[in-house]
Structure formats: C-alpha cells, structure tokens
A and B are shown apart, each in its own frame.
Chain A
C-alpha cells in the first residue's frame, strides 16, 4: 500500500494563478480531509468528504474548492492564489471513527 500520496511536493504560484493539489489514497477509506499548516501552527481543516460525491466545508474553506468523484481521489483547487494561501497542505484519509492517515504534504508559496 502506498497510503496517501500527494502531488506536487513543492509549488510556487504567482498571485492570481490557479492550481490543483492532488491527493490519492489506496486504503479504500470513505473519509478524506484537506488541512493547511502555517509555520509554527497546528492544522486547520479546509474541506472534508465522507464519501464519493459528498463534500463539506471545514474551518477555513474560503479560497478553495474540492471535489470527490471517486473514493480514491480528493483534489483541492485554488482558483485565485493569494499570499495568505502560502502554507503546507496535507491530505488525510480515515475509516470511520479511526485514526487519520496523512500524506507527505505540498509546500505552496504564493508570491
């Protein structure tokens, strides 16, 4: 099992550009999550999904969008990048009431 994989590992965006962060899991988990981690801070939930076709907002959803067309994939879309979105983004997945498994992260810089 590869677990949770994320691409790209690093990305630099100019203000106003768009991009999609990819996340794939091979554990057949129903639940998937996107977090952001700012320097020296904890994790904040952006969006989550409880199954294919079902997504919901987390704590900090503004400026982001998600989709969940399959169990395996949960991409995060940034439409108009802003410097405030400079962060490290983590995708995670879990079975219900179980621990979450995290991907290695994507380090995004918006300049």
Chain B
C-alpha cells in the first residue's frame, strides 16, 4: 500500500520569506513523488517530480523539493514566497513497482497563504 501525509493543513508566510510545505510518504518499494498546485476553482497543475537521480528537484515557478529517503520525506520549498503562490498544494506518491495503472495517492493538501 502507498500513502502520503501532509501534516500541516495551512502554512502562513510573509512575502519574501522562505516557504516550506511538508510531505512524508510510505511505499513498499521505491517511490515516484509529485507536487501539484491548485488555484481557486481550477484543476491541479503539475509542479515537479522525483523519479530517480539527484535528491534536489527543481520545478515550475521557482519551486524545488528535496527527496530524503531515510526520512521518507519530500518537502516542497521556495526561497522567496510571492503573494501569487497562495494556493492549495498536494503531494502525491506512486509505488514504482506495485502501483498498477500509474495510480497516484494524494495527500490531504496544504493551504498556503502568503501575506504582503
């Protein structure tokens, strides 16, 4: 079985400050990991993914994420947050071997509010 936890329902940060959104996962084998962002009344947009290779993954809009196998984490980061980064963020995982149909399991989401 595969699962994802996003321990924070909401993260508040001042514009210009670093932003971190936490994600931990559980899979039987090796993970594929994804971050998505959802703006109000929109579908999910893909931000970045970890498949293999470098543990630091860079994605869209200046976001990056660090894969930590020992801590089973994949935290999303941005060095300097913008008001326009305010949105709902989802972490997702797929077991590399066992997840038939490329099925992803999503975390519950973390709402990010960036204040001017």
Q: Does A50 contact B (CB under 8 A)?
A: yes
- Determine if B90 and A97 form an interchain contact, defined as CB atoms under 8 angstroms apart: no
Residues of A in contact, count (CB < 8 Å): 25
Contacting residues, chain B, for A104 (C-beta < 8 A)? 42-43
- Determine if B102 and A42 form an interchain contact, defined as CB atoms under 8 angstroms apart: no
Partner among A49, A50, A102 whose Cβ is within 8 Å of the Cβ of B44: A102
Q: How many A-B residue pairs have CB under 8 A?
A: 53
Main secondary structure of the interface of B (DSSP, over half): mixed
Of the four ranges (under 10, 10 to 19, 20 to 34, 35 or more), the interface on chain B belongs to: 20 to 34
Contacting residues, chain B, for A94 (C-beta < 8 A)? 102
- Determine if A103 and B107 form an interchain contact, defined as CB atoms under 8 angstroms apart: no
Which B residues lie at the A interface, using CB under 8 A?
A: 32, 34, 36, 41-46, 49, 51, 90, 94, 96, 100-104, 106-109
